[in-house]
Structure 1
Amino acid sequence: MKRLAMASSVGTTLEWYDFTIYNLMAALVFNAIFFPSFDPLTGTILAFSTYAVGYVSRPLGGFVFGHLGDRLGRKFVLVTTLVIMGASTGLMGMLPTYATWGVWAPIALVALRFVQGVALGGEWAGAVLLSMEHGKPDQRGRNASFTQIGPSCGTLIGTGFIAAVSAWLAPEEFQAWGWRVPFIASVALVSFGLWLRRGVEETPVFREMEQKRETARTPIKEVLGAYWRQLLIAGGSRIGSDVLYALVVVFSLTYVTSVLHLSRPMALGATMLGSALNAVAVPLFGHLSDKVGRRPVYLAGAVLGMAWAFVFFVLMDQAHPVAICAAVAGGLLVHAMMYGPQAAFVAEQFPGRVRYAGASLAYTLAGILGGGFAPLIIASVFKSWQSTLAISVYVTLALVVTAVAVLAARETGKSPLQR
């Protein structure tokens, strides 16, 4: 299980490292180097639009790799998606800017972001199943949560890397070429992930289905036809946690630097602290869901998230480092209450023959409504209303959707895994 845990989490760690450095660059420098013809806030909104492309493209990865994961196996897809993700991120670091390449620079950025999203859309479900379909039945919540550690670890590593580069270089140097370093460095990280994943075995569930010739011929069609209710429940459960994450991790950087006019290292430091707390809390809440059930833990996180959507800006507007760190760390702790049991909750909605396809579609389609457009909506709402109250209401409504979806689901924590 140690190697499986590492193989499950390292892929999502590396891929969320890639996503994190893109997200942070969108908030910090892409408005100037890829969209320089607009005012800073409008440029940031456009940069977040390219952020959304990475979510819009995820369902394509969910369709393609969800089909392959149920037909050819979990391990095959996990190796393939990691290679695609690493290549697209490395190429981002080599892109000419708008000053050199004109309009082709943001077009190429969007294209690579699209490829990133396709890879990540096929990655998540496979990483979850790799650890969940191994191990003991009463530890599925904990085992599946190993994958959920990846985003926090990737965020922590990516944010730390950018903070170090920012501290090492002058602001002009960082904007001129320093932003490229974290992108290019991801190639080495992907190599380590490939080494880990190539050394793990296919899951017992898939091997058994293969031996009995019970693999689905058209898993996507089967999910959409026979398991559409489970698809809605699993997808709806994800929306609120994604929107809360976008507020706390992505928009907070813009708010701290552009609205409160505080330093970039301070904003990155708050994100790192919150990410470290989240990485520790996610498996703890995953384990707790094995003991008391998925729904109670998940619902508690959704309700607390509704309250934190308002507390967040009360703390932020203090413009004090301690208050800002508390806002981000508290938000990511609440997020962990949903994110810990989420992987097992989503995957357990579907039987083994279509579990990869079902979990992939739920994850990727909900990602468009949740995390994909959340930073864009939040930034646009703030620009239009010049008030954080509307943002808090938006986050609360997204969490209401999640709470309704979880209430509509059956409790899966104590039930045998569907075959």
Structure 2
Amino acid sequence: MTHSQEKVHPPSSDSGSSSGKKPPGMKKVATASFIGTVIEFYDYNIYGVAAALVFPTVFFPALGAVAGTVASFATLGVAFVARPFGSILFGHFGDRLGRKKTLIVTMMLMGVATLLVGLMPTATQIGVAAPILIVVLRILQGLAAGGEWGGAVLFVSEHAPKAERGFWAMFPSLGGGGAIILANATFFGTAVWMSDETFLSWGWRVPFLASILLVAVGLWVRLSIDETPVFAKQIKSHGVARTPFLDAFKSQPRQVLLATGAAAFTMSLTYIGGTYLISYGTSILELSRPYVLSIAVLGGFSISVAVILSAILSDRFGRRRMIMTAACLAIVWTLMLFPILETRSMVAFAVGVPVTMFISGIATGPLGAFLSELFYTRYRYTATGLSYSLAGMLGGAIPPLIATPIIAAWGGFAFGLVMAGLAAVSLICILTIGETKQLDLDREDGVPVS
């Protein structure tokens, strides 16, 4: 036991995850992580859809169309800035108190923040206080999301047999695809059944208020699952880290930075394809809102299919090979995307969004197992969540924020060059990290990653 660790009493679970045998209840564990992530990122994604469709008018009416859209996406980006801090905060407790307890807290925080967004008065009602309060609530969403994905991934991967870890660890990411479908489908329903005036008046609130029912279901599911066997073994044998964040940067700083770079491009594809193109389709291409949202739902199905296929293949061919394939495809596709969309064809939009999301899904499928395998147990929650959140800030917050001014000044191809450059950086990081699927999650420090 090192000076930075302390002994605690372990949870009751004592089964191993690297024995090659399928632990009992694996389907239940995967279901709990899937449902939990669906709910968390449904709450997170409906804000993105609303930021594209409603918030420029509701909360930033004085700024005009272009500036209002930029300001709206800036509030979207605030959560990405908050996510790394959420990863550090909840990662600290996840590495010390356990994955299960921490995931319950992140879900409750996300649920309350999302409910309050749905109850928020508009700028015409309370003036400048409205956008300020929206930013505060978005920060709370970002903190919760920062602690969610990493913990949900570890909850599955630390239960899963080694040979099938890629498959089981993809369920939280699959939940993210389900959240995209659910969020856009909910807004699609309001768009079909309501006039534009009604939607802008109060209809946009419905998806936010309805989320509290989903949160209740998610809490019930998560409370029924035991702590992970890998974490139980760690604290029984070595205790827990007193400062997981410092330990991660002391032991594996290079891996944290490389993992951030490796995941950045898939985050950019997800949030350009799943959020920004909704705004682009309605405001720039002037397509109808129901049509744009229906294609966004199709994009959610597209990323989900790719996540499943890529995760399964990663157990056979390796995590690195699948993520590298996606990065290479992304470099080519991002240079083609906006020239295709600028034809202003409905068919072009129906191709552009699903293809973008499919490529993102190829990288996202193995990502949960990849990041889990990269880090040691005593700070895995912190390091995994932090890498993913920093990638979200780099790839998920910045591209949607700069897309509108770049496209307005230099055209879509110029923005495609930015996206392709980010994918190239990710490709280099992936090549540097090496393969991880052969590694045991309960290995001791000092075992090389590649």
Give the TM-score taking structure 1 as reference length: 0.98
Residue 375 of structure 2 is matched in structure 1 by 350
Q: Distance in 1 between matches of 2:247 and 2:212?
A: 37
Aligned mates of 1:58, 1:290 — CA distance in 2: 29
What's 2:429 paired with?
405
Matches of 1:249 and 1:134 in 2, distance apart? 31
Aligned with 1:274 (options 292, 299, 302): 299
Q: 1:127 aligns with which of 152, 157, 177?
A: 152
Query: Any residues of structure 2 matched to 1:256-405 within 5 Å, and which?
Result: 256-385=281-410, 387-405=411-429
1:382 is displaced (CA, Å) by 1.6
Q: Is residue 69–residue 356 contact of structure 1 (8 Å, CA) maintained in 2? A: yes
Deviation at 1:283, TM superposition (A): 2.0
1:226 corresponding residue in structure 2: 251
The 1-side partners of 2:393 and 2:356 are apart by: 21
Letter in 2 for 1:369: L
8 Å contact from structure 2 (residues 234, 442) kept in 1? no
Distance across 1 between alignment mates of 2:403 and 2:84: 23
Residues 170, 308 of structure 2: 8 Å contact kept: yes
Deviation at 1:21, TM superposition (A): 1.0
Q: Which residue of 2 aligns with 1:95?
A: 120
Question: 2:406 and 2:83 mapped to 1: Cα distance?
Answer: 25
Mapped to 1, the partners of 2:63 and 2:382 lie a distance apart of 41
Give the letter aligned to residue 409 of structure 1: I
What is the one-letter code of the residue matched to 1:413? K
Q: 2:227 matched to which residue of 1?
A: 202
The 2-side partners of 1:418 and 1:195 are apart by 29
Q: Would you say 1:417 and 2:441 are equivalent positions? A: yes
Once residues 329 and 191 of structure 1 are traced to their aligned partners in structure 2, the CA distance between those partners, rounded to angstroms, is 31
- Choose from 188, 202, 206 the match for 1:181: 206
Q: Which amino acid in 2 is paired with 1:128?
A: V
Secondary structure (helix, strand or coil) at the match of 1:348 reads helix
Report the aligned-residue RMSD: 1.1
Q: CA deviation at 1:280?
A: 2.2
Partners of 1:93 and 1:150 in 2: CA distance: 22
Residue aligning to 1:190:
215
Give 1:121 deviation, angstroms.
0.3
Write the letter of the residue equivalent to 2:301.
A
State the 1:242 CA deviation.
1.0
CA distance in 1 between counterparts of 2:129 and 2:286 reads 32
| Deviation (angstroms), 1:410 | 2.2
Q: 1:56 aligns with which of 53, 64, 81?
A: 81
Give the paired residue count.
418
Whole-angstrom CA distance in 2 between matches of 1:164 and 1:246 = 22
Once the 2 structures are TM-superposed, how far is the Cα of residue 171 of structure 1 from its aligned partner? 0.3
CA–CA distance in structure 2, aligned partners of residues 208 and 418 of structure 1: 8
Q: CA deviation at 1:223?
A: 0.5
The residue type equivalent to 1:370 in the other structure is G
Distance 1:396 1:369 in 2: 14
CA distance in 1, matches of 2:148, 2:286: 37
8 Å CA contact retained: 2:372, 2:441: no
What secondary structure sits across from 2:350 in the alignment?
helix
What displacement does 1:178 show? 0.5
Amino acid across the alignment from 1:289: S
Aligned-residue offset at 1:412 = 0.6
Contact 2:95–2:381, Cα closer than 8 Å, also in 1: yes
Q: Which consecutive segments of 4 or more residues in structure 1 shift more than 4 A?
A: none
Report the Cα distance in structure 2 between the residues aligned to 1:418 and 1:297, rounded to whole angstroms. 24
* Whole-angstrom CA distance in 1 between matches of 2:408 and 2:351: 25
Q: How far apart are residue 213 of structure 1 and its match?
A: 4.0
Stretches of structure 1 lacking an aligned partner (at least 5 in a row) = none
In the alignment, which residue of structure 2 is the partner of 1:78?
A: 103
Q: Which of 42, 54, 59 matches 1:17?
A: 42
Cα deviation for residue 320 of structure 1 reads 2.8
Question: 2:54 maps to which residue?
Answer: 29
Q: Percent identity?
A: 39
Contact between 2:40 and 2:107, CA under 8 Å: does it hold in 1? yes
Shift in Å, 1:307: 1.1
One-letter code of the match for 1:75? K
Is the Cα contact below 8 Å between 1:153 and 1:275 reproduced in 2?
yes
What is the TM-score of this pair, normalised by structure 2? 0.91
Q: Which residue of 1 aligns with 2:6?
A: none
Deviation sequence 1:70-107 (CA, Å, 0-9, x none): 10000011100000000000000000000000000000
1:26 Cα deviation from its structure 2 partner: 0.7
Report deviation, 1:418.
4.3
For 1:366 and 1:327, locate their aligned partners in 2 and report how far apart those are by CA, in whole Å.
23
For residues 10 and 163 of structure 1, the distance between their equivalents in structure 2, rounded to whole angstroms, comes to 21
For 2:416, the aligned partner's letter is S
- 8 A contact 1:348–1:418 mirrored in 2: no
- Cα shift readout 1:206-234 (whole Å, capped 9, x = no counterpart): 11122224321211110011110110111
Deviates more, 1:311-320 or 1:214-223: 311-320
Q: Secondary structure at the match of 2:225?
A: coil
Bigger CA drift: 331-340 or 364-373?
Answer: 364-373
Q: Is the 8 A contact 1:311 1:327 kept in 2?
A: no
1:144-170 residue CA offsets vs partner (Å, 9 max, x unmatched)? 111111221001001000000111111
Alignment equivalent of 2:33, drawn from 8, 12, 21: 8
**In structure 1, what is the equivalent of residue 168 of structure 2?**
143
Structure 2 CA distance, aligned partners of 1:260 and 1:124? 33
